[in-house]
């Protein structure tokens, strides 16, 4: 550069973060990403070979040339490799994982009604936040009662509620609201027993709807339903990765991250941004104003709850593992910085303790466990952390295990959440040929949880991997490819995949999946033993978690994730934390039930149970070191051997 | 100025406003004051003759020369005339009225105890906000109850209160507070019936005190007591003009001012600044941290209440004169921007309607009216607006009259609030020689209300003014001086006054005072007539307002401000709004009593009463057009005439 010439800078923005940085001309996109503090894994070390750092450029010009890791067609569609592309223009960039923000337009609340026999928290539309039409008497010289008092009187008369509180923010709108339409107003109120708080008041003109949010604040994924509080209809759903993921993939890393000065503020902002982005997306799509959201029910594990409230999660991971709170009163939205009406009431599903959180208590509402004293059920949520509950109406015990994010696509070379482009079911034939189903009408991008379960089971049952999870390569030499992470089984050829690169599973991925399923199974087994129960005494087995819509129970048993019970005893209930939040949002009775569930649960610490390591080690095989536990799998393997001999 | 030379600027700051402006060198101070939007009256039009724009310069150098309006000694002490002084340095300036901020160090709460037979709101130390010492159980592996729950349990056990709420802000301190001293904590809580809200929690170390504020938010003057909530002791008092005064001197001007865009925000900020400055002064003096103030009880008229809360006061002055609120629940300090603990609970004494506010209901607590069903009492608060209450334990009627700020020193040439330098008592002899008493150990600055009452009475009784309030100059030619506002009676010669200028009273001032006393007296008279009562049926007569400590009842009767009853029937109770707030702050029972008072009062609109104008016109004489109403004054005048003849 000529002496004295000014260095040229470009502005690079990142979606969906609302983050932007200024970087010198000809910096690489990867450098801008790192400067912005955003997550982007580059296993090949920035050599342009692994293709993991693919980004989409939605604004600005750039130059890129087709390579093995990036097809010409993808370049034409605006994709580039961050490690190879130099910045010569102002750019707006979407990072790969964050493209997974999905919006479903209208989901029916019929699901809950249809499933009412299966869930304890009955679908009921009786929310604490309601909108009421009121006719408030106009003042005269002989009745000069204050605006507030006249409103209270009209409200009391209509609802029968005696104690009415009107916060300061509403007071400032009152005079005008009461006078605009001769005292005809809509009042939004939060009602609890004999008390009501007025959240908003406005003149009655046209139709007016109020909305609520049900949310699952997962360590990996955050999912929201936008709900019409008038009829319970879900008018939008939005899901994305939790932006906190850049601070670590599991709760322990997040807790550690939060310890450094300023980090607690930062990590809270990341989850608030995540939620606000989802609110933005869902309300835009549904044509709803954020100001019309007056309530929310969120569920998340105990650490997520603490970070959402900017509470130091330090003591959660320190003996005696005591959280700051388990159950809280409603929190005003404005204290958290959430994009909704400032007076909106936020409820967090209660935790049981440091390692069994509100996602589990909310999830329990979606099971019928609390309906029977006779039958014993088991509930398992296999998210990044696995949590289990066993019991019935009269007793409940619970434990947690560190499963890892493998079934949510985390830590797996071609893993991804269960969203558009994810392979959700897989079948192999004897020659290793693949038949798979992808979510959405596009080419495959990667593998979600249910696809990984299928793949592991099919590889094992067809003998393409052994009981240790190692490739028996001689059988299918043409399906085994070499990658930068070692040998891999090829599922989708680069030419047929969305990103233009091979979709495959490595031996390392398989080991990872086996550890995860082993952690879950051994926890189930140990929890039952701790109360003197056997698997065959369990009546029903409820499975929740981020596997995706199509978890195949048969395959889950074949890999030893689930015990070898009758298949009809299993029920996959999906994201029960989100569904439970929805039930809580719409019914104060369900809110009280979830509080009761939290109080009733007894927490068992597995690590201190004798035999923990034995159980876990025994589970690190397909399906298990003790084949007698999996007779049906034994029969299949026997048939396979017999078929080979024939 | 040479072409191309940079214009030089100086920074000028104003106390106690925390306002500063940048002005070009050699601007006049008056221009800087106007640029800052601050109030400074210049009756002489900036000619340097009236001396009204005198300011004190506390930082920076300036040049001034002694004139008739400004003595050399004052210049030496840092005073200057704003209209004459050019700015050649960065300056810090104190405006004249705002020097009146006074701090009394320690006032005894004994007053209330001593006067308990005279007040309905008995002095009682049983506040809603209290500090409690708690020992919270430490967690163990076998009892891993959350921090919040353990705190709640300890609190419930100690207080017997069942429903405990912990706001978000306290939650964030909890984990550390509980662990710093092995669970030994101080908890500040707000308790009401069966409910408590935790306002703060901190580890127990050393002695800790919590404080509250009692405040009178007057149209002209704002006064605060800083109170030790532990024992009720008043540890500091601070008073200043309400900064809103620059937006108009009475409530109607303030309401009008607030109508323009942005003005409501501005006028609210002015009163918040006023209060915050007082809080700053009182806490500094007492060595108290603002964060340790956890509650406040304020009283003010209805307009002041609305402006404090940034509520449009528009409808207060528009038929049918309906305020937005009369009685409110507690408001958190952080919503108003007050300098105290963000969770502090603010209570506003309830209004009766648009023209009888919380200052009157609070003031009623300081009278024994509510103690007797037999005796009928009259309460009058002669502030900028006059309000009257008549009744007993069983019935109360009230009305308002527009008295004007004359008795608080407003609209009077040498008027001022009852603070340091104010002449508070005056005696004249037959030759018009003056004997007066000044508040504080300094030369006189001006006249406060009680001084003005004395002066008017003495001028009248000695025949220096006639019944119309006109000077009978022939009697005391050497005491009558000419001013820019016409003829005036000289009280203190310029050489002996603090500001180095004459202290005098003009005919215009006297007319102003007569209108004010006439408005008050005719309102009293009319209110009694409206319920068929005569003055001689009144048992006791309570006088509140900003007259100053030494209102002479005899003189007040002589000028016809008060009716001609037995002198022992009168009782001057000072700033009863402030005292009532203090009683409310310390006792939730008194808070409930003031609410009952507000509900019980019937408001009478005087303007629509027949005979209103007649009553008022008849009162525009000294003491009244109907001398039969003032027999004792008649006797004095007769003796004077007789003395002259002898």
* pLDDT tens, position by position, B523-574: 999 999 999 999 999 999 988 887 766 789 999 999 999 999 999 899 888 8
Q: Any idea which residue has 């507030």 for tokens?
A: A148
Sequence-ordered strand ranges (E) for A406-518:
422-428, 434-438, 446-447, 480-483, 486-492, 503-506
Residue A343 has pLDDT above 60, yes or no: yes
Q: Do A319 and B141 count as a contact with CB atoms less than 8 A apart?
A: yes
Instruction: Please give the Cα distance from B250 to B401 (Å, whole number).
Output: 12
A16: cis peptide before it, omega within 30°?
A: yes
Q: Do B144 and A325 count as a contact with CB atoms less than 8 A apart?
A: no
Residue B175 has pLDDT above 50, yes or no: yes
Determine the distance in angstroms separating the CA of A94 from the nearest CA of chain B, rounded to an integer: 35
Mean pLDDT estimate for chain B: 87
Higher pLDDT, A385 or A223: A223
How far is CA A524 from each of CA A379, A538, A546, rounded to the nearest angstrom? 9, 11, 18
Query: Would you say B349 and B359 are in contact if contact means Cβ atoms under 8 Å apart?
Result: yes
Residue B292 has pLDDT above 60, yes or no: yes
Residue B89 has pLDDT above 80, yes or no: yes
If you ran DSSP here, which 8-state letter would residue B142 be given?
Answer: S
| Coil, helix or strand at residue A552 | coil
Determine the distance in angstroms separating the CA of A313 from the nearest CA of chain B, rounded to an integer: 9
Q: If you write DSSP's letter for every residue of A408-438 in order, what string do you get?
A: GTTTSTTB--SSTTEEEEEEE-TT--EEEEE
pLDDT digits (tens, 9 = 90+) for A596-606: 999 999 998 88
Q: Do B175 and A312 count as a contact with CB atoms less than 8 A apart?
A: yes
Residue A203: φ, ψ to 5°: -60, 145
pLDDT at residue B474, rounded to an integer: 81
Residue A283 has pLDDT above 80, yes or no: yes
Determine the distance in angstroms separating the CA of B242 from the nearest CA of chain A, rounded to an integer: 22
Pick B144's closest partner by Cβ from A144, A329, A353.
A353
**Which of A268, A306, A324 has the most B C-beta neighbours within 10 Å, making it the best mutation to test the interface with B?**
A324
Residue A132 has pLDDT above 90, yes or no: yes
Pick B144's closest partner by Cβ from A145, A321, A335.
A321
Enumerate the β-bridge partners of residue B198.
B189
Q: What is the mean pLDDT of residues A270-275?
A: 92
Instruction: Please give the Cα distance from B594 to B120 (Å, whole number).
Output: 10
B311: chain A residues, CB-CB within 8 Å: 171-172, 175
Instruction: Please give the Cα distance from B490 to B471 (Å, whole number).
Output: 12
A515 at interface of B, judged by CB pairs closer than 8 A: no
Task: Provide the percentage of residues in chain A whose pLDDT is more than 70.
Answer: 92
Would you tell me how many other CB atoms lie within 10 Å of the CB of residue A567? 13
A137 at interface of B, judged by CB pairs closer than 8 A: no
DSSP H/E element including A529: helix A507-530
Task: Provide the percentage of residues in chain B whose pLDDT is more than 90.
Answer: 56
Ranges A161-175, A414-428, A557-571: which has the least confidence: A414-428
Determine the distance in angstroms separating the CA of A427 from the nearest CA of chain B, rounded to an integer: 47
B166: chain A residues, CB-CB within 8 Å: 328-329
B194 at interface of A, judged by CB pairs closer than 8 A: no
Residue B388 has pLDDT above 90, yes or no: yes
Q: Do B148 and A329 count as a contact with CB atoms less than 8 A apart?
A: no
Pick B323's closest partner by Cβ from A146, A329, A331.
A146
Burial A608-618 (b: 16+ CB within 10 A, else e): eeeebeebbeb
Window B:158-187, CB contacts with A under 8 Å: 165-166, 168-169, 171-172, 174-176, 179
B320 at interface of A, judged by CB pairs closer than 8 A: yes
Determine the distance in angstroms separating the CA of A87 from the nearest CA of chain B, rounded to an integer: 43
If you ran DSSP here, which 8-state letter would residue B563 be given?
Answer: -
B140 at interface of A, judged by CB pairs closer than 8 A: yes
pLDDT bucket at A124, cuts 50 / 70 / 90: confident
Q: Do A148 and B353 count as a contact with CB atoms less than 8 A apart?
A: no
pLDDT digits (tens, 9 = 90+) for B228-245: 999 888 888 888 778 887
User: What's the complex ipTM?
Assistant: 0.82
Query: Would you say A39 and A246 are in contact if contact means Cβ atoms under 8 Å apart?
Result: yes
| Coil, helix or strand at residue B103 | strand
Q: Do A320 and B141 count as a contact with CB atoms less than 8 A apart?
A: yes
pTM of the entire structure? Answer: 0.82
pLDDT digits (tens, 9 = 90+) for B392-401: 999 999 999 8
Query: Would you say A449 and A407 are in contact if contact means Cβ atoms under 8 Å apart?
Result: yes
B323 at interface of A, judged by CB pairs closer than 8 A: yes
Ranges A150-159, A393-402, B231-240: which has the least confidence: B231-240
Would you tell me how many other CB atoms lie within 10 Å of the CB of residue A162? 10
pLDDT bucket at B282, cuts 50 / 70 / 90: confident
Q: Do B146 and A326 count as a contact with CB atoms less than 8 A apart?
A: yes
Instruction: Please give the Cα distance from B4 to B559 (Å, whole number).
Output: 66
Instruction: Please give the Cα distance from A1 to A467 (Å, whole number).
Output: 61
Residue A384 has pLDDT above 80, yes or no: no
Residue B44 has pLDDT above 50, yes or no: yes
Q: Do B175 and A325 count as a contact with CB atoms less than 8 A apart?
A: no
pLDDT bucket at B219, cuts 50 / 70 / 90: confident
| Coil, helix or strand at residue B15 | strand
A315: chain B residues, CB-CB within 8 Å: 147, 175, 179
Pick B171's closest partner by Cβ from A314, A325, A603.
A325
Ranges A98-107, A592-601, B475-484: which has the least confidence: A98-107
Q: What is the mean pLDDT of residues B2-23?
A: 73
Residue B383 has pLDDT above 70, yes or no: yes
Of all residues in chain A, the one with the smallest CA distance to B314 is: A175
Longest dimension (CA), chain A: 103
Query: Would you say A278 and A100 are in contact if contact means Cβ atoms under 8 Å apart?
Result: no
B354 at interface of A, judged by CB pairs closer than 8 A: yes
């Amino acid at each position: 550069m000529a002496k004295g010439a000014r260095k040229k800078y470009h502005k690079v923005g990142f979606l969906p973060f609302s983050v932007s940085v200024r970087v010198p001309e000809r910096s690489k996109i990867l450098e801008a990403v790192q400067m912005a503090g955003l997550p982007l894994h580059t296993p090949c070390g920035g050599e342009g070979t692994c293709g993991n750092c693919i980004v989409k450029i939605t604004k600005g010009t750039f130059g890129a040339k087709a390579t093995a890791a990036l097809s010409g067609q993808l370049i034409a569609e605006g994709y580039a490799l961050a490690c190879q592309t130099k910045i010569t223009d102002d750019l707006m960039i979407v990072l790969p994982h964050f493209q997974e923000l999905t919006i479903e337009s209208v989901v029916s609340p019929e699901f809950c009604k249809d499933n009412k026999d299966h869930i304890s928290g009955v679908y009921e539309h009786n929310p604490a936040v309601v909108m009421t039409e009121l006719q408030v008497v106009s003042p005269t010289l002989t009745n000069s009662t204050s605006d507030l008092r006249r409103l209270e009187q009209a409200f009391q008369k209509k609802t029968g509620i005696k104690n009415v509180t009107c916060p300061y923010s509403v007071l400032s709108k009152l005079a005008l609201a009461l006078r605009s339409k001769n005292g005809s107003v809509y009042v939004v109120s939060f009602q609890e027993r004999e008390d009501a708080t007025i959240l908003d008041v406005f003149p009655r003109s046209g139709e007016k709807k109020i909305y609520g949010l049900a949310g699952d604040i997962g360590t990996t994924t955050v999912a929201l339903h936008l709900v019409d509080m008038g009829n319970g209809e879900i008018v939008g759903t939005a899901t994305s990765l939790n932006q906190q993921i850049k601070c670590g993939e599991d709760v322990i890393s997040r807790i550690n991250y939060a310890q450094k000065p300023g980090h607690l503020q930062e990590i809270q902002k990341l989850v608030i941004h995540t939620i606000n982005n989802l609110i933005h997306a869902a309300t835009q799509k549904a044509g709803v104003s954020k100001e019309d959201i007056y309530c929310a029910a969120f569920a998340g594990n105990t650490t997520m709850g603490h970070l959402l409230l900017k509470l130091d999660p330090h003591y959660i991971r320190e003996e005696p593992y005591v959280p700051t709170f388990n159950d809280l009163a409603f929190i005003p939205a404005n204290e958290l910085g959430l994009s909704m009406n400032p007076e909106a009431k936020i409820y967090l599903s209660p935790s049981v303790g440091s390692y069994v959180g509100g996602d589990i208590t909310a999830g329990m509402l979606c099971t019928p466990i609390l309906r029977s004293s006779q039958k014993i059920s088991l509930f398992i949520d296999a998210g990044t952390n696995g949590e289990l509950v066993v019991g019935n109406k009269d007793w409940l015990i619970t434990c947690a295990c560190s499963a890892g994010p493998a079934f949510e696509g985390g830590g797996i070379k071609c893993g991804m959440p269960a969203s558009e482009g994810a392979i959700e079911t897989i079948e192999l034939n004897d020659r290793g040929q693949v038949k798979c189903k992808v979510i959405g009408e596009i080419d495959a991008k990667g593998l979600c949880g249910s696809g990984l379960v299928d793949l592991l089971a099919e590889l094992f049952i067809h003998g393409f991997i052994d009981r240790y999870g190692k490739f028996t390569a001689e059988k299918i030499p043409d399906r085994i490819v070499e990658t930068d992470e070692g040998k891999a089984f090829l599922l989708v050829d680069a030419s047929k995949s969305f990103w233009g690169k091979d979709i495959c599973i490595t031996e390392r991925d398989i080991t990872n999946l086996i550890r995860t399923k082993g952690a879950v199974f051994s926890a189930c087994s140990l929890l039952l033993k701790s109360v003197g129960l056997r698997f065959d005494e369990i009546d029903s087995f409820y499975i929740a978690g981020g596997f995706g819509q199509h978890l195949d129970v048969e395959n889950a048993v074949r890999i030893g994730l689930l015990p070898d019970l009758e298949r009809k005893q299993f029920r996959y209930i999906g994201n029960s934390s989100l569904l439970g939040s929805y039930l809580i949002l719409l019914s104060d009775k369900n809110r009280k039930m979830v509080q009761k569930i939290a109080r009733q649960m007894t927490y068992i610490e597995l690590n201190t149970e004798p035999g923990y390591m034995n159980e876990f080690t025994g589970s690190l095989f397909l399906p298990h070191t003790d084949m007698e536990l999996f007779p049906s799998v034994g029969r299949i393997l026997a048939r396979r051997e017999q078929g080979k001999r024939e």
